[in-house]
Amino acid sequence: MKILACDTSCDETSVAVIEDGRVLSNKLSSQIQMHQEWGGVVPSLAKRKHEELLPVVIERALKGAKVTLDDIDVFAVTRGPGLAIALEVGLKHFKELSLKHKKPLVAVNHMEGHVYSTFAKNSKGKPEISSEFPLLALLVSGGHTEFVLMREHGQYEIIGQTLDDAIGEAFDKVGRMLDLGYPAGPVIEEIAKQGNENRYEMPIPMRYSKDGNMSYSGLKTAAMKLVNEELKSPLNAYAEKFKKQVESSKSYERSQENKVLSIQYAVHSKETEIRDERQVTCDIAASFQKAAIEQLLVKTEFVLNKIEKDFGFKILDLNIGGGVAQNMYLRKKFREKFGKRVRLHFPTSKRLHTDNAGMIGVAAYYNALRGNFAKDLESLDRAPNWRIDQVSH
Protein backbone atom coordinates (compact mmCIF):
# COMPACT_ATOMS: atom_id res chain seq x y z
CA MET A 1 0.00 0.00 0.00
CA LYS A 2 1.48 3.33 -1.12
CA ILE A 3 0.44 6.47 0.72
CA LEU A 4 1.06 10.10 -0.22
CA ALA A 5 1.03 12.07 3.05
CA CYS A 6 1.08 15.78 3.80
CA ASP A 7 1.58 18.03 6.82
CA THR A 8 1.02 21.79 6.74
CA SER A 9 0.14 22.23 10.41
CA CYS A 10 2.61 25.01 11.16
CA ASP A 11 5.74 26.33 9.47
CA GLU A 12 6.90 23.36 7.39
CA THR A 13 5.38 22.25 4.09
CA SER A 14 6.03 18.53 4.08
CA VAL A 15 5.05 15.65 1.79
CA ALA A 16 6.11 12.01 2.01
CA VAL A 17 5.56 8.69 0.25
CA ILE A 18 5.11 5.68 2.53
CA GLU A 19 4.91 2.06 1.45
CA ASP A 20 3.55 -0.41 4.01
CA GLY A 21 4.79 1.69 6.93
CA ARG A 22 8.21 2.41 5.43
CA VAL A 23 9.12 5.96 4.52
CA LEU A 24 10.29 6.01 0.88
CA SER A 25 10.69 9.78 0.69
CA ASN A 26 10.09 12.55 3.19
CA LYS A 27 10.45 16.04 1.73
CA LEU A 28 10.15 19.28 3.52
CA SER A 29 10.37 22.93 2.72
CA SER A 30 10.88 25.01 5.79
CA GLN A 31 9.57 28.51 6.28
CA ILE A 32 11.59 28.89 9.42
CA GLN A 33 13.98 31.43 8.00
CA MET A 34 11.12 33.64 6.90
CA HIS A 35 9.52 33.43 10.36
CA GLN A 36 12.89 33.98 12.07
CA GLU A 37 12.77 37.56 10.91
CA TRP A 38 9.55 38.02 12.90
CA GLY A 39 10.62 35.95 15.88
CA GLY A 40 7.78 33.47 15.38
CA VAL A 41 5.21 32.14 12.94
CA VAL A 42 3.08 34.72 11.11
CA PRO A 43 -0.14 32.90 10.06
CA SER A 44 -0.97 34.87 6.91
CA LEU A 45 2.58 34.50 5.59
CA ALA A 46 2.58 30.80 6.45
CA LYS A 47 -0.61 30.21 4.45
CA ARG A 48 0.70 31.94 1.34
CA LYS A 49 3.99 30.10 1.54
CA HIS A 50 2.24 26.69 1.95
CA GLU A 51 0.11 27.38 -1.14
CA GLU A 52 3.18 28.26 -3.13
CA LEU A 53 5.32 25.35 -1.93
CA LEU A 54 2.86 22.43 -1.70
CA PRO A 55 2.74 21.48 -5.42
CA VAL A 56 6.53 21.69 -5.60
CA VAL A 57 7.08 19.53 -2.51
CA ILE A 58 4.55 16.94 -3.79
CA GLU A 59 6.58 16.65 -7.00
CA ARG A 60 9.80 16.26 -5.03
CA ALA A 61 8.31 13.57 -2.78
CA LEU A 62 6.95 11.55 -5.73
CA LYS A 63 10.24 11.84 -7.57
CA GLY A 64 12.20 10.89 -4.46
CA ALA A 65 10.16 7.69 -4.14
CA LYS A 66 10.26 7.05 -7.92
CA VAL A 67 6.46 6.90 -8.18
CA THR A 68 3.70 8.92 -9.85
CA LEU A 69 0.31 10.00 -8.55
CA ASP A 70 -1.23 7.01 -10.35
CA ASP A 71 0.73 4.63 -8.10
CA ILE A 72 -0.76 6.10 -4.93
CA ASP A 73 -3.39 3.93 -3.16
CA VAL A 74 -4.25 6.25 -0.25
CA PHE A 75 -3.93 9.97 0.42
CA ALA A 76 -3.26 11.22 3.95
CA VAL A 77 -3.27 14.69 5.42
CA THR A 78 -2.99 16.38 8.81
CA ARG A 79 -6.39 17.72 9.82
CA GLY A 80 -5.31 19.16 13.16
CA PRO A 81 -4.21 20.31 15.66
CA GLY A 82 -2.29 23.28 14.30
CA LEU A 83 -2.57 26.66 12.73
CA ALA A 84 -6.05 26.85 11.15
CA ILE A 85 -5.20 28.62 7.92
CA ALA A 86 -2.08 26.54 7.39
CA LEU A 87 -3.98 23.25 7.93
CA GLU A 88 -6.57 24.44 5.44
CA VAL A 89 -4.04 24.53 2.60
CA GLY A 90 -3.00 20.87 2.93
CA LEU A 91 -6.49 19.58 3.63
CA LYS A 92 -8.07 21.32 0.65
CA HIS A 93 -5.37 20.14 -1.74
CA PHE A 94 -5.47 16.53 -0.54
CA LYS A 95 -9.27 16.35 -0.59
CA GLU A 96 -9.07 17.40 -4.23
CA LEU A 97 -6.40 14.78 -4.99
CA SER A 98 -8.47 12.07 -3.31
CA LEU A 99 -11.59 12.98 -5.32
CA LYS A 100 -9.73 13.36 -8.58
CA HIS A 101 -7.87 10.06 -8.31
CA LYS A 102 -10.78 8.23 -6.64
CA LYS A 103 -8.60 6.97 -3.80
CA PRO A 104 -9.47 7.11 -0.09
CA LEU A 105 -8.23 9.82 2.25
CA VAL A 106 -7.04 9.39 5.85
CA ALA A 107 -7.40 12.51 8.03
CA VAL A 108 -4.57 12.26 10.54
CA ASN A 109 -4.19 13.90 13.92
CA HIS A 110 -0.80 15.63 14.03
CA MET A 111 -0.03 14.30 17.53
CA GLU A 112 -0.90 10.79 16.34
CA GLY A 113 1.82 11.41 13.77
CA HIS A 114 4.32 12.23 16.51
CA VAL A 115 3.34 9.02 18.35
CA TYR A 116 3.79 6.97 15.17
CA SER A 117 7.14 8.55 14.30
CA THR A 118 8.67 5.76 16.40
CA PHE A 119 6.77 3.08 14.40
CA ALA A 120 8.39 3.72 11.01
CA LYS A 121 9.63 0.51 9.38
CA ASN A 122 13.09 -0.06 7.97
CA SER A 123 14.08 -1.22 4.48
CA LYS A 124 13.42 -4.85 5.43
CA GLY A 125 9.83 -3.98 6.31
CA LYS A 126 10.45 -4.53 10.05
CA PRO A 127 9.71 -1.89 12.65
CA GLU A 128 12.99 -0.22 13.58
CA ILE A 129 11.72 -0.10 17.10
CA SER A 130 9.60 -2.87 18.46
CA SER A 131 7.39 -1.59 21.21
CA GLU A 132 4.54 -3.44 22.80
CA PHE A 133 1.13 -2.34 23.95
CA PRO A 134 0.20 -0.98 26.36
CA LEU A 135 2.75 1.74 25.78
CA LEU A 136 3.19 5.25 27.04
CA ALA A 137 4.00 8.07 24.64
CA LEU A 138 5.44 11.34 25.88
CA LEU A 139 4.96 14.06 23.30
CA VAL A 140 7.14 17.12 23.67
CA SER A 141 6.81 19.71 20.94
CA GLY A 142 6.30 23.41 20.31
CA GLY A 143 2.55 23.11 20.87
CA HIS A 144 2.12 20.08 23.14
CA THR A 145 3.45 18.40 26.24
CA GLU A 146 1.41 15.32 27.04
CA PHE A 147 1.42 11.72 28.21
CA VAL A 148 -0.65 9.43 26.02
CA LEU A 149 -1.46 5.87 27.03
CA MET A 150 -1.96 3.52 24.07
CA ARG A 151 -3.54 0.15 24.83
CA GLU A 152 -3.88 -0.64 21.12
CA HIS A 153 -3.29 0.96 17.72
CA GLY A 154 -5.46 4.06 17.40
CA GLN A 155 -6.55 4.13 21.06
CA TYR A 156 -5.34 7.15 22.94
CA GLU A 157 -5.90 8.23 26.52
CA ILE A 158 -4.33 11.46 27.78
CA ILE A 159 -2.90 10.78 31.25
CA GLY A 160 -1.47 14.24 31.82
CA GLN A 161 -0.60 17.39 29.94
CA THR A 162 0.61 20.92 30.30
CA LEU A 163 -1.96 23.29 31.71
CA ASP A 164 -0.43 26.32 29.97
CA ASP A 165 2.65 26.59 27.73
CA ALA A 166 4.23 23.64 25.94
CA ILE A 167 7.83 22.79 26.76
CA GLY A 168 9.09 23.68 23.25
CA GLU A 169 7.24 26.99 23.49
CA ALA A 170 9.05 27.69 26.79
CA PHE A 171 12.41 26.94 25.14
CA ASP A 172 11.48 29.32 22.32
CA LYS A 173 10.26 32.09 24.63
CA VAL A 174 13.28 31.94 26.91
CA GLY A 175 15.47 31.89 23.80
CA ARG A 176 13.72 35.00 22.59
CA MET A 177 14.44 36.79 25.87
CA LEU A 178 18.10 35.87 25.42
CA ASP A 179 17.90 36.86 21.75
CA LEU A 180 18.90 33.44 20.49
CA GLY A 181 16.68 33.46 17.41
CA TYR A 182 13.83 31.09 16.48
CA PRO A 183 13.38 28.21 17.14
CA ALA A 184 15.64 28.47 20.16
CA GLY A 185 15.51 24.91 21.53
CA PRO A 186 18.65 23.61 19.78
CA VAL A 187 20.61 26.79 20.62
CA ILE A 188 19.67 26.62 24.30
CA GLU A 189 20.76 22.98 24.37
CA GLU A 190 24.11 23.90 22.83
CA ILE A 191 24.98 26.93 24.98
CA ALA A 192 23.75 25.14 28.12
CA LYS A 193 26.77 22.84 27.69
CA GLN A 194 28.93 25.80 28.62
CA GLY A 195 26.73 26.89 31.50
CA ASN A 196 26.41 26.00 35.14
CA GLU A 197 22.97 24.40 35.57
CA ASN A 198 23.13 24.85 39.34
CA ARG A 199 23.78 28.58 39.31
CA TYR A 200 20.11 29.56 39.39
CA GLU A 201 17.29 27.70 41.06
CA MET A 202 14.30 27.57 38.76
CA PRO A 203 10.75 26.54 39.76
CA ILE A 204 9.10 23.23 38.94
CA PRO A 205 5.51 24.37 39.46
CA MET A 206 3.67 21.04 39.41
CA ARG A 207 6.31 18.94 41.16
CA TYR A 208 4.01 17.88 43.98
CA SER A 209 0.63 17.89 42.23
CA LYS A 210 -1.06 14.51 42.43
CA ASP A 211 -1.65 14.17 38.71
CA GLY A 212 0.25 13.88 35.45
CA ASN A 213 -0.19 17.53 34.56
CA MET A 214 2.59 20.01 33.99
CA SER A 215 3.07 23.78 33.72
CA TYR A 216 5.73 25.78 31.91
CA SER A 217 4.54 29.37 32.19
CA GLY A 218 6.03 29.89 35.68
CA LEU A 219 9.41 28.73 34.46
CA LYS A 220 9.24 31.21 31.63
CA THR A 221 8.37 34.04 34.07
CA ALA A 222 11.23 33.04 36.38
CA ALA A 223 13.62 33.11 33.42
CA MET A 224 12.37 36.56 32.45
CA LYS A 225 13.00 37.83 35.97
CA LEU A 226 16.54 36.47 35.85
CA VAL A 227 17.20 38.03 32.46
CA ASN A 228 16.06 41.40 33.78
CA GLU A 229 18.07 41.16 36.97
CA GLU A 230 21.26 39.54 35.73
CA LEU A 231 21.80 40.91 32.25
CA LYS A 232 22.32 44.58 31.54
CA SER A 233 20.59 44.19 28.25
CA PRO A 234 18.89 41.04 26.99
CA LEU A 235 20.30 41.95 23.61
CA ASN A 236 23.77 40.64 24.23
CA ALA A 237 26.84 41.96 22.56
CA TYR A 238 27.20 38.90 20.37
CA ALA A 239 23.61 38.92 19.16
CA GLU A 240 24.23 41.33 16.30
CA LYS A 241 27.17 39.28 15.17
CA PHE A 242 25.34 35.99 14.81
CA LYS A 243 22.23 37.67 13.47
CA LYS A 244 24.29 38.84 10.51
CA GLN A 245 25.61 35.33 10.04
CA VAL A 246 22.11 33.92 10.13
CA GLU A 247 20.91 36.41 7.54
CA SER A 248 23.74 35.57 5.20
CA SER A 249 23.45 31.82 5.61
CA LYS A 250 21.51 29.88 3.03
CA SER A 251 19.79 27.17 4.99
CA TYR A 252 18.20 26.64 8.36
CA GLU A 253 20.71 23.94 9.37
CA ARG A 254 23.55 26.26 8.52
CA SER A 255 22.01 29.10 10.49
CA GLN A 256 21.66 26.93 13.58
CA GLU A 257 25.27 25.93 13.24
CA ASN A 258 26.37 29.54 12.85
CA LYS A 259 24.48 30.64 15.91
CA VAL A 260 26.12 27.97 17.99
CA LEU A 261 29.57 28.72 16.59
CA SER A 262 29.28 32.41 17.23
CA ILE A 263 28.08 31.83 20.76
CA GLN A 264 30.95 29.47 21.40
CA TYR A 265 33.26 32.06 19.98
CA ALA A 266 31.69 34.71 22.15
CA VAL A 267 31.97 32.62 25.28
CA HIS A 268 35.66 32.09 24.65
CA SER A 269 36.22 35.74 23.86
CA LYS A 270 38.81 37.55 25.91
CA GLU A 271 36.69 40.63 26.45
CA THR A 272 36.13 40.14 30.14
CA GLU A 273 33.42 42.72 30.55
CA ILE A 274 31.01 41.05 28.22
CA ARG A 275 32.27 37.59 29.05
CA ASP A 276 30.35 37.71 32.31
CA GLU A 277 27.18 38.56 30.44
CA ARG A 278 27.79 35.63 28.12
CA GLN A 279 28.46 33.28 30.97
CA VAL A 280 25.25 34.44 32.67
CA THR A 281 23.37 33.73 29.43
CA CYS A 282 24.76 30.19 29.30
CA ASP A 283 24.03 29.68 33.01
CA ILE A 284 20.43 30.85 32.60
CA ALA A 285 20.04 28.52 29.59
CA ALA A 286 21.49 25.56 31.54
CA SER A 287 19.44 26.24 34.68
CA PHE A 288 16.27 26.64 32.63
CA GLN A 289 16.91 23.43 30.67
CA LYS A 290 17.58 21.49 33.87
CA ALA A 291 14.26 22.58 35.42
CA ALA A 292 12.29 22.07 32.20
CA ILE A 293 13.52 18.48 31.83
CA GLU A 294 13.28 17.76 35.58
CA GLN A 295 9.54 18.43 35.40
CA LEU A 296 9.22 15.79 32.66
CA LEU A 297 11.22 13.31 34.73
CA VAL A 298 9.15 13.86 37.87
CA LYS A 299 5.89 13.56 35.97
CA THR A 300 6.96 10.51 33.98
CA GLU A 301 7.67 8.71 37.23
CA PHE A 302 4.31 9.77 38.62
CA VAL A 303 2.46 8.63 35.50
CA LEU A 304 4.24 5.23 35.34
CA ASN A 305 3.34 4.62 38.99
CA LYS A 306 -0.23 5.83 38.50
CA ILE A 307 -0.82 3.49 35.56
CA GLU A 308 0.46 0.56 37.62
CA LYS A 309 -1.74 1.48 40.55
CA ASP A 310 -4.95 2.48 38.73
CA PHE A 311 -4.92 0.07 35.79
CA GLY A 312 -2.94 -2.82 37.23
CA PHE A 313 -0.39 -3.21 34.46
CA LYS A 314 3.19 -2.13 33.97
CA ILE A 315 4.35 0.06 31.12
CA LEU A 316 7.33 -1.57 29.45
CA ASP A 317 7.76 0.80 26.52
CA LEU A 318 8.08 4.58 26.68
CA ASN A 319 8.11 6.31 23.28
CA ILE A 320 9.23 9.94 23.30
CA GLY A 321 8.39 12.05 20.24
CA GLY A 322 8.19 15.68 19.11
CA GLY A 323 10.83 18.32 18.40
CA VAL A 324 12.14 18.59 21.98
CA ALA A 325 12.91 14.84 21.97
CA GLN A 326 15.98 15.72 19.88
CA ASN A 327 17.50 17.25 22.99
CA MET A 328 20.43 15.03 24.05
CA TYR A 329 20.36 16.28 27.64
CA LEU A 330 16.73 15.08 27.83
CA ARG A 331 17.70 11.67 26.43
CA LYS A 332 20.59 11.30 28.83
CA LYS A 333 18.44 12.16 31.84
CA PHE A 334 15.66 9.79 30.76
CA ARG A 335 18.16 6.97 30.21
CA GLU A 336 19.70 7.54 33.63
CA LYS A 337 16.37 7.61 35.43
CA PHE A 338 14.24 5.12 33.50
CA GLY A 339 16.74 3.03 31.50
CA LYS A 340 16.26 0.04 33.81
CA ARG A 341 12.52 0.39 34.27
CA VAL A 342 11.27 0.74 30.66
CA ARG A 343 12.50 0.40 27.09
CA LEU A 344 13.01 3.95 25.89
CA HIS A 345 12.35 4.76 22.25
CA PHE A 346 13.06 7.86 20.20
CA PRO A 347 12.42 8.24 16.47
CA THR A 348 15.32 6.70 14.61
CA SER A 349 16.00 9.57 12.25
CA LYS A 350 16.18 13.27 13.00
CA ARG A 351 13.82 13.95 10.12
CA LEU A 352 11.07 12.03 11.93
CA HIS A 353 11.37 14.07 15.12
CA THR A 354 10.31 17.50 14.00
CA ASP A 355 7.20 18.15 11.98
CA ASN A 356 7.23 16.03 8.85
CA ALA A 357 4.84 14.17 6.58
CA GLY A 358 6.67 10.85 7.03
CA MET A 359 5.22 10.39 10.51
CA ILE A 360 1.75 11.37 9.20
CA GLY A 361 2.08 8.67 6.54
CA VAL A 362 3.10 6.03 9.07
CA ALA A 363 0.09 6.93 11.26
CA ALA A 364 -2.12 6.87 8.14
CA TYR A 365 -0.85 3.37 7.28
CA TYR A 366 -2.06 1.96 10.61
CA ASN A 367 -5.37 3.81 10.17
CA ALA A 368 -5.75 2.43 6.65
CA LEU A 369 -5.15 -1.13 7.90
CA ARG A 370 -8.21 -0.65 10.11
CA GLY A 371 -10.18 0.88 7.23
CA ASN A 372 -10.31 4.19 9.05
CA PHE A 373 -10.84 6.50 6.06
CA ALA A 374 -12.57 9.88 5.90
CA LYS A 375 -16.21 9.18 5.11
CA ASP A 376 -17.61 12.44 3.86
CA LEU A 377 -15.02 14.59 2.13
CA GLU A 378 -17.48 17.43 1.52
CA SER A 379 -17.97 18.07 5.22
CA LEU A 380 -14.43 17.20 6.31
CA ASP A 381 -13.02 20.35 7.87
CA ARG A 382 -9.76 21.31 9.54
CA ALA A 383 -9.66 20.86 13.33
CA PRO A 384 -7.14 23.29 14.86
CA ASN A 385 -7.79 22.06 18.43
CA TRP A 386 -8.31 18.36 17.74
CA ARG A 387 -7.19 16.37 20.80
CA ILE A 388 -5.57 13.01 20.23
CA ASP A 389 -8.12 11.33 22.51
CA GLN A 390 -10.94 12.56 20.26
CA VAL A 391 -9.64 10.61 17.28
CA SER A 392 -12.08 7.95 16.11
CA HIS A 393 -10.64 4.52 15.44
Q: Does 117 bind Zn ion (CB under 5 A)?
A: no
CB atoms closer than 10 angstroms to residue 102:
6
By beta-carbon proximity to ligand KG4, the closer residue of 334 and 373 is 334
Task: Check residue 197 for interaction with ligand KG4 (CB under 6 A).
Answer: no
**Residue 146 near ligand KG4 by CB under 6 A:** no
CB of 99 to ligand KG4, least distance (A): 28
Q: Which residue number, 176 or 275, has a Cβ lying nearer to ligand KG4?
A: 176
Q: Which of residues 97 and 111 has its CB atom nearest to ligand KG4 in the complex?
A: 111
Q: Residue 34: enclosing H or E segment and its boundaries?
A: helix 32-36
Residue number, 90 or 168, with CB nearest to ligand KG4: 168
State which of residues 141, 213, 215, 258 lies at the interface with ligand KG4 (CB under 6 A). Answer: 141
Q: Is residue 324 a contact point for ligand KG4 (CB under 6 A)?
A: yes
Which DSSP string corresponds to 335-378?
HHHHTTTSEEE--SSGGGTSS-HHHHHHHHHHHHHTT---S-TT
Tell me the longest C-alpha to C-alpha distance in the chain.
68
141 near Zn ion (CB under 5 A) = yes
Are the C-beta atoms of residues 134 and 315 closer than 8 Å to each other? yes
Which residues 6+ apart lie within 8 Å of 254 measured at CB? none
Position among 15, 355, 358, 372 found at the interface with ligand KG4 (CB under 6 A): 355
Nearer to ligand KG4, 172 or 179 (CB): 172
Distances in Å between the Cα of 355 and the Cα atoms of 144, 148, 200, 243, 273 are 12, 18, 32, 25, 40
> 186 is in the binding site of which of Zn ion, ligand KG4, none (Cβ under 5 to 8 A by kind)?
ligand KG4
**Chain residues 327-356 in contact with Zn ion, contact rule CB under 5 A:** 355
Nearer to ligand KG4 by Cβ, of 212 and 322: the residue is: 322
168 near ligand KG4, judged by CB under 6 A: yes
Cα distance between residue 130 and residue 152, in whole Å: 14
Closer to ligand KG4 by CB, 103 or 351: give it: 351
Rounded to the nearest whole angstrom, what is the least distance from the CB of residue 1 to ligand KG4 in the complex?
A: 26
Q: For ligand KG4, which residue of 80, 323, 347, 361 counts as binding (CB under 6 A)? A: 323
Q: Which span (56-64, 93-101, 135-143, 246-254) binds ligand KG4, by CB under 6 A?
A: 135-143
> Long-range pairs for 43-52 at CB < 8 Å and ≥24 separation?
43/83, 43/84, 43/85, 43/86, 44/85, 46/10, 46/11, 46/83, 46/85, 46/86, 47/85, 47/86, 47/88, 47/89, 49/13, 50/8, 50/13, 50/86, 50/89, 50/90, 51/89
Applying CB under 6 A, the residues found at the interface with ligand KG4 are: 10, 141-143, 168, 171-172, 183-186, 189, 322-324, 326-327, 354-355
